[in-house]
Amino acid sequence: RAGFLHPEKHHGLAAVDTKGAATKQPEARLYFYPDTETHVLHLLCIGFKKSQREDLRACRRLVDRIRGGRSDG
């Protein structure tokens, strides 16, 4: 398993993160949702560690809209 890929606990979301190495950049995350029913990878948002809670909340709302009422986990 890749160290930069993290499954999130909600709605089948996952994140790719990057640590802000030598330049002391903040850690950034790309949140995505792989829709296994339609075989589409939805790129949802890019955020930072300090906005993680709000980013996840927004991503969950987007996934709910994408699913359109489907219950696939």
Q: For 56-71, how does the pLDDT look when each residue is reduced to its tens digit (9 = 90+)?
A: 999 999 999 998 866 5
**List of E strands, 9-73:** 14-18, 28-35, 40-48
Using CA atoms, how far apart are residues 4 and 20, in angstroms rounded to an integer?
12
Q: How does residue 7 score in pLDDT terms, banded at 50, 70 and 90? A: confident
When the pLDDT of each residue in the chain is averaged and rounded to a whole number, the result is 83
- Calpha distance 35→24 (Å, rounded): 34
Q: Give residue-wise pLDDT tens across range 9-59.
A: 777 888 888 875 666 777 889 999 999 889 999 999 999 889 999 999 999
In this prediction, residue 1 has a pLDDT band, given cuts at 50, 70 and 90, of low
CB 46 within 8 A of CB 29: yes
Q: What percentage of the chain's residues is helix, strand, coil (to nearest 5)? A: 25, 35, 40
